[in-house]
Amino acid sequence: MQRWDELAEKFSHVTDKTGRPIDEGILETVVALNALDITTSMSCEGHLDHGLPYPWIDVGISSYMKYDTPEVKQLLQRLTELRREQDKDIKMQQLWQEENKLRLQQRYRLFGCLAGFYKKREVPFDRIITFVSSGRIRSQGGDFLELLSPDEREQKLREYQDEMHQFTSFLKSILNAKKSWPIADQAFLVSQGLDPPPEDDCLQHNRQSCPERHHLPPK
């Protein structure tokens, strides 16, 4: 897929403030989410010697990132201008509401993907991938690993990483479905346990789809 290859190439060059690239064990998940128009800002495959001992990804629009999407870029520019002017009138409130709505829309798409992934999947409760209101995807039992022995923590980390890899394969299955069906609707249909409609129905699809958002990686 051309879009997948483009995103994979872009995110392979993304680094954090220390110059470290995205962890290999979480890179494909990051690419898959962004291919589904679910923006990511930070991630980690999980480590026992530093950071958090479980895989996680931060999802959502960050004011500290730059985007190549015209409407988002224009929105953030207008917000910056109003902040400088310390303008707290109704226009400022409306702009904040628009930004929050963009964040909420992305989290809702993510909610649909996770709902579809676990619709017929049974795993131990702690292995389930969930996300908090801030938009971070994470292993549900991650916070409790510090209570376990080193061997148990290592085993759980492997289990949580495997669950994230399984979720990545699920996201790929959405992307590999009917290409002409809007991606946002593919995610919704899969979350409901349904298959995308035949090609002919796709061509007659008249609902407005979400615009593609290709975001530049953080610098």
Q: Of 174, 208, 130, 190, nearest to 36 (Cα)?
A: 174
User: Rounded to 5 degrees, what angle do the CA atoms 111, 170, 200 make?
Assistant: 90
Question: What sign does the CA torsion over 189, 194, 195, 200 have?
Answer: negative
| Model confidence, pTM | 0.64
**Residue pair 197/20 in contact by the 8 Å Cβ criterion:** no
Nearest to 99 by CA among 124, 131, 74: 74
The rounded mean pLDDT for the chain is 77
pLDDT tens for 47-91 read 999 889 999 999 876 544 445 567 667 777 777 777 766 555 677
- Amino acid symbol at 202: C
Higher pLDDT, 214 or 66: 66
CA distance 6 to 166: 22
**CA–CA–CA angle 164, 9, 107 (5° rounding):** 45
